[in-house]
Structure formats: structure tokens, C-alpha cells
């Protein structure tokens, strides 16, 4: 058993090193050489776990996705059923904020995800993963809106995931330079509009 655990722990150590490098230096900073230096291993050891630069980036993105997924799992859709007014608004905002850069940890995850999404535009190897991550988020949001009784949850989910994407980019790049307080204000206004349609039903 210990002999099996050690390679798994070492691989995780390497993935975390790749994750940190993507955050600090972007896609191009996540080279085998730099990850080897960051993880304290030689390149030969890294090749036992990863085929190259793209494999490392994919692993870092999977790490970000797994972390986000674990936090989302702490907000089961069943808890949203029957909520209304401010309770519904607070619960939906708490759910959505799990994937937004509202603290240092989530900011790092968002940066890695944005890096992967941008890379997927020109690198086909990342497209399936990028599409899957987008589909998974849309499904979570759609189920949440459905539980809250929002009419047309498919359309609402498309709108809200677009808001999430825009807020994320504007918060982790100079494009919008959003701070956390402003991000939360904008998000709450968008959620309030979405939930207002459910209140009118």
C-alpha cells in the first residue's frame, strides 16, 4: 500500500506546482523545466506522470475544477427548494460565489480556468475539457434556478453563466479591474433580476 500511495502523493505535489506556476506566469510559465524546479524533482521524474506542457496545464485546470466542484457540492440543490425573497437571493449568491474570485484561493482557481479557456481557443487538445467545465457549471446553475422556481431555467442558466464568465474575467485581468465588493454588488443585482421573475409567477 505505501508504495502505491507515494506516487499518488508525488503526482499531486507536481500538479500543485503546475497550478501555482499557471497562476503566477500563465500558460507559457507551466513548462516541464519550471514545474520540475517548483516541485523539487528532475524532468525525468515528471515524465513518469505527464507527457509535456499541455498535459501539465490540463492537470492544473482539473485541479481548479475539482476544487470548485467540491465547494459546489456543499450547496445541494435540495436546500434551495421552497426558498423565496432574500433567503433565495442569499442562497443563490452563496452558490455562485463558490466559482467566483472572491478570495485568494478562488481567485487562483479562476485564473487557472481562464488560462485554460483562452488556450482552448487555439489548442484543440483543451477544447473538450473547456466545454465540459462550461457544461457542468451550466447544469449546476440550471438545477439551482429550477429549484428556486425561476421560469425558463435553461435561458436563465445561460444568462447567469455568461455573467459569471464576465465577472471572472473582469476580476482577474486588467480588463475590468473589478474588486470583490463591486463584483458582489453586480452579481447581486443580476441575481435579483433573475429571481424577480420567479416571484411574479
pLDDT digits (tens, 9 = 90+) for 78-116: 999 999 999 999 999 999 999 999 999 999 999 999 999
pLDDT digits 0-9 by tens, 112-150: 999 999 999 998 888 998 999 999 999 999 999 999 999
Domain extent for 124: 2-200
Q: Is-contact 185 178, C-beta < 8 A?
A: no
| CATH number, domain with residue 136 | 1.10.357.10
pLDDT digits 0-9 by tens, 54-63: 888 888 888 8
pLDDT digits 0-9 by tens, 36-83: 999 998 888 888 888 888 888 888 888 898 899 999 998 999 999 999
Cα 78 from chain centroid (whole Å): 22
* Burial call 120-145: b when 16+ CB within 10 Å, e when fewer: beeeeebeebbeebeeebbebbbbbb
Total domains present in the chain? 1
DSSP string, 34-102: HHHHHHT--HHHHTTT-SSHHHHHHHHHHHHHHHHHHHHTTS-GGGGTT--HHHHHHHHHHHHHTTS--
Amino acid at each position: 500500500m505505501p508504495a502505491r500511495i507515494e506516487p499518488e502523493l508525488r503526482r499531486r505535489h507536481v500538479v500543485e506546482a503546475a497550478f501555482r506556476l499557471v497562476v503566477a506566469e500563465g500558460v507559457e510559465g507551466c513548462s516541464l523545466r519550471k514545474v520540475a524546479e517548483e516541485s523539487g524533482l528532475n524532468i525525468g521524474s515528471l515524465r513518469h506522470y505527464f507527457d509535456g506542457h499541455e498535459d501539465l496545464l490540463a492537470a492544473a485546470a482539473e485541479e481548479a475544477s475539482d476544487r470548485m466542484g467540491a465547494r459546489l457540492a456543499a450547496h445541494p440543490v435540495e436546500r434551495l427548494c421552497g426558498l423565496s425573497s432574500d433567503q433565495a437571493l442569499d442562497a443563490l449568491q452563496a452558490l455562485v460565489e463558490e466559482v467566483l474570485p472572491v478570495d485568494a484561493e478562488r481567485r487562483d482557481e479562476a485564473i487557472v480556468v481562464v488560462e485554460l479557456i483562452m488556450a482552448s481557443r487555439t489548442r484543440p487538445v483543451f477544447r473538450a475539457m473547456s466545454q465540459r467545465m462550461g457544461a457542468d457549471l451550466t447544469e449546476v446553475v440550471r438545477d439551482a434556478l429550477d429549484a428556486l422556481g425561476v421560469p425558463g431555467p435553461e435561458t436563465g442558466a445561460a444568462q447567469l453563466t455568461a455573467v459569471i464568465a464576465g465577472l471572472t474575467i473582469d476580476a482577474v485581468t486588467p480588463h475590468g479591474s473589478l474588486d470583490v465588493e463591486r463584483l458582489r454588488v453586480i452579481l447581486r443585482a443580476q441575481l435579483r433580476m433573475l429571481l424577480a421573475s420567479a416571484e411574479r409567477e
